[in-house]
Amino acid sequence: MNDQRLRLDLAELAEEVTPVDLRDRALRTSRRIGIQRAIATSAAAVVLLGAATGTAFAILPNRGADPIPGTTPSVTASPSPTAPPTPSPTTSPSVAPPVTSTSSEPTTSAAFGRLHYGPFGSGEADTAHLYSWTPGDTPVRRLALPTNAAQLNAAVSPDGRRVAWVDDEAALWTAALDGSGKRKLHDLVDGTCWSPTWSPNSRQLTVRVGAADGSPGKAGLLDVSSRAFTEVAGFEGCHPVWAADGTVAFADGTNGTVVVTDRTGTGRRTIPGLGSKGSRYVCFDVAGISPDGRRIALFRIDRDKEAGDAARDLLVNAVLDTRTGKEITLPLGGRELRQAYFQADGSLVARVRSGGRYTLILVDKAGKKVAEKAEPGSLASMQIIAAAD
């Protein structure tokens, strides 16, 4: 069976390896630009200019290309980062069995939900479509957004009904996934550092807004229905993520720490081992947090490496315990982690690179592999922006 699977995988790889490798080489060279990361207060000041986002990306045309640079370390305990990748799964609708098959193990109810994709790389077109895909089905094209917004700040609500984004004129909008019901919510909104993030009930957005007189921006909560804004003093950083239990986490933006707090900004603490004195790693990009706020998916780097810019990056190379800072080992079979998103039931969808294509691995709350599914080739040049029903 292994020989047959290997032959099938080699055939698939032969069909796709050439365009993927060319894309990797062309885009990886622009993965990180030589601009130091802006701190939160600086990013807030930038957004006060009417066309802040458009201006920022006039000088940052291709912030990154492949969401999975070849230098990203594996999260699994593989013996060597240069070990050959595990062969890709077949595209059969059946799912892979659990990691172990002993009859004494309890069953799990975890299942793949709907994932939402946006472009990776600004491209030349003025607009870009979002896509939704549930493993086992066909990708569905959604509304078109300004290209910069689609890549850098578009956010799908947890109930999977609406999208929020900040356009190149720093205006905050929301609409249904099909583009209907488009509404403007606010002007002078930061779409680069403190991009909009939905509350767990899909009724509010965390945003940073500026004043017309040029005074420093304020971060807080915007009610989507009434458009009323409430400042939250403890929200100071970049790239917030919001857990179902009310936990809010974000990158500090100054020293590489990651702050964990609540919706009122109180009870602030930092995740151990990130940015603190003597720590090996720093982090400026946070992608997701578990419903209970106890696990976080992020991109961490050695503290002596180049930090990059302040724009959102959904690349993930580690999942950590928010209380201890310890890395959580994922059952990826030696494959390299590229993105990770938590689902409402606490399970994790890990996007890995295997051969010439992407594969999704479903991991339940207990850390057990439940299933894996090959991703359609049509989504290979895109990145996941949300896991929402």
pLDDT by residue (tens digit) across 148-202? 999 999 999 999 999 999 999 999 999 999 999 999 999 999 999 988 999 999 9
Across all residues in the chain, what is the average pLDDT?
79
Between 47-61, 160-174, 287-301, the lowest mean confidence (pLDDT) is in 47-61
Q: Find out whether 70 and 315 touch, Cβ atoms under 8 Å.
A: no
Contact 79, 314 (CB under 8 A): no
Please enumerate, as own/partner, the contacts of 267-271 that have beta carbons within 8 Å and a separation of 24 or more.
268/234, 271/296, 271/320, 271/322, 271/325
Q: For residue 101, what are the β-bridge partners?
A: none
* CA–CA distance, 167 with 187 (Å, rounded to integer): 10
- Domain of 180, in residue numbers: 2-387
Q: In the predicted model, is pLDDT for residue 106 greater than 80?
A: no
242-268 pLDDT tens trace = 999 999 999 998 899 999 999 999 889
236 pLDDT tier (thresholds 50, 70, 90): confident
Residue with more model confidence, 267 or 384 = 384
Predicted confidence (pLDDT) per residue in 337-381, tens digit: 999 999 999 999 999 997 778 999 999 999 999 999 999 999 999
Q: Are 359 and 89 in contact (CB under 8 A)?
A: yes
Is 50 exceeded by the pLDDT of residue 25?
no
The whole-angstrom separation of Cα 260 and Cα 240 is: 10
**Domain holding 162: CATH number?**
2.120.10.30
Q: How many CB atoms lie within 10 A of CB 326?
A: 11
Question: Tokens at residue 332, please?
Answer: 């990826």
d(CA 177, CA 155): 11
Q: Is the pLDDT of residue 140 over 80?
A: yes
Exposed e or buried b for every residue in 328-341, given b needs 16+ CB within 10 A? Answer: bebbbbbbbbbbbb
Work out the angle at residue 224's Cα, subtended by the Cα atoms of residues 221 and 229, and round it to the nearest 5 degrees.
35
Instruction: Give me the mean pLDDT over the 6-21 stretch.
Output: 41
What's the mean pLDDT in 206-235? 90
> CA end-to-end span of the chain, whole Å?
36
Q: Which residue has the tokens 């595209």?
A: 91
The conformation of residue 12, written as its DSSP 8-state character, comes to H
Mean pLDDT, residues 122-139: 91
Residue 5 has pLDDT above 50, yes or no: no
Measure the CA–CA gap between 182 and 175, rounded to whole angstroms: 4
Confidence band of 124 (pLDDT split at 50, 70, 90):
confident
What pLDDT is stored for residue 94 in this prediction?
A: 38
State how far the Cα of 336 lies from the Cα of 81, in Å rounded to an integer: 8
Q: How far apart are CA 42 and CA 189, in angstroms?
A: 14
60 vs 373, higher pLDDT: 373
Q: Check residue 360 and give its pLDDT.
A: 97
Residue 379, both tokens? 């989504």
pLDDT interval class at 130 (50, 70, 90)? very high
Residues in the chain: 389
Residue with tokens 């802040």: 52
Q: Give the model's confidence band at 107: pLDDT under 50 very low, under 70 low, under 90 confident, else very high.
A: low
Number of domains in the chain: 1
Instruction: Say what percent of the chain tops pLDDT 70.
Output: 71
CA R_g for the chain: 20
Kindly list the distances between the CA atom of residue 148 and the CA atoms of 68, 145, 252, 330, in Å, as whole numbers in the listed order. Answer: 19, 8, 23, 32
Residue appearing with tokens 């910069």: 148
pLDDT higher than 70, residue 30: no
Average pLDDT rounded to a whole number, residues 25-45: 35
- What is residue 64's predicted lDDT score, i.e. its pLDDT? 39
Please name the residues in contact with 367: beta carbons below 8 A apart, sequence gap of 6 or more: 328, 329, 330, 331
126-140 b/e (C-beta count within 10 Å ≥ 16 → b)? eebbbbbbebeeebe
What confidence score (pLDDT) does residue 213 get? 73
* pLDDT for residue 212: 74
Angle at 57 between CA 54 and CA 63, to 5 degrees: 150
